[in-house]
Amino acid sequence: MSDDVPGPDSYPLGKVYSGGSHAIAAADWKAYAAATDDAEAAYDGAAPPMFHVRPFIRLMLEMAADPELAIDMLRLVHGEHAVRFHRLLLDGEQLEVKGTLEAVAVKPSGRIFTFGLEGTVDTDTVVSGTTSYFIRAANPPPRGPRKPAPELPPVTWSLPQHVTDDQALRYAAASGDDNPIHTDPATAKAAGLPGCILHGLCTMAFAQRDLVAHYAAGEPQRLKELAVRFAKPVFPGDTLTLDVWEGDAGAVRFQTRDGKGKAVLTQGRARFA
How far is the first Cα of the chain from the last one, in angstroms, to the nearest whole number? 46
Q: Report the C-alpha gap between 113 and 68 in whole angstroms.
A: 12
How would you list the strands of the sheet with 157-162, edge to edge? 16-23, 94-107, 110-121, 124-136, 76-85, 223-230, 263-272, 251-257, 239-246, 157-162
212-215: list long-range contacts, CB under 8 Å, 24+ apart.
212/40, 212/49, 213/40, 214/157, 214/159, 214/244, 215/250, 215/252, 215/272
pLDDT tens track, the chain, 273 positions: 345 567 777 999 999 999 999 999 999 999 999 999 999 999 999 999 999 999 999 999 999 999 999 999 888 999 999 999 999 999 999 999 999 999 999 999 999 999 999 999 999 999 999 999 999 998 777 777 777 777 889 999 999 999 999 999 999 999 999 889 999 999 999 988 999 999 999 999 999 999 999 999 999 999 999 999 999 999 999 999 999 999 888 999 999 999 999 999 999 999 999
Label each residue of 97-162 as H, E or C: EEEEEEEEEEECCEEEEEEEEEEEECCEEEEEEEEEEEEECCCCCCCCCCCCCCCCCCCCEEEEEE
User: Which pLDDT does position 140 carry in this prediction?
Assistant: 75
Q: By the 8 A CB rule, do 104 and 111 touch?
A: yes
Q: By the 8 A CB rule, do 86 and 161 touch?
A: no
User: Which pLDDT does position 105 carry in this prediction?
Assistant: 97
User: Which pLDDT does position 112 carry in this prediction?
Assistant: 98
User: Which pLDDT does position 5 carry in this prediction?
Assistant: 64
Cβ-count burial of 195 within 10 angstroms (0-12 exposed, 13-18 middle, 19+ buried)?
A: exposed
Q: Which CATH number fits domain 8-272: 3.50.50.60, 1.10.357.10, 3.10.129.10, 3.40.640.10?
A: 3.10.129.10
Compute the half-sphere exposure of residue 162: CA atoms within 13 Å on the CB side of its CA.
5
Alpha helices in 2-114, H assignment, sequence order = 26-35, 53-64
Q: Report the C-alpha gap between 168 and 235 in whole angstroms.
A: 9
User: Which pLDDT does position 4 carry in this prediction?
Assistant: 59
Query: How far, in whole angstroms, is CA 135 from its chain's centroid?
Result: 16
Q: Report the C-alpha gap between 167 and 189 in whole angstroms.
A: 19
User: Which pLDDT does position 1 carry in this prediction?
Assistant: 39
User: Which pLDDT does position 194 carry in this prediction?
Assistant: 94
Q: By the 8 A CB rule, do 78 and 200 touch?
A: yes
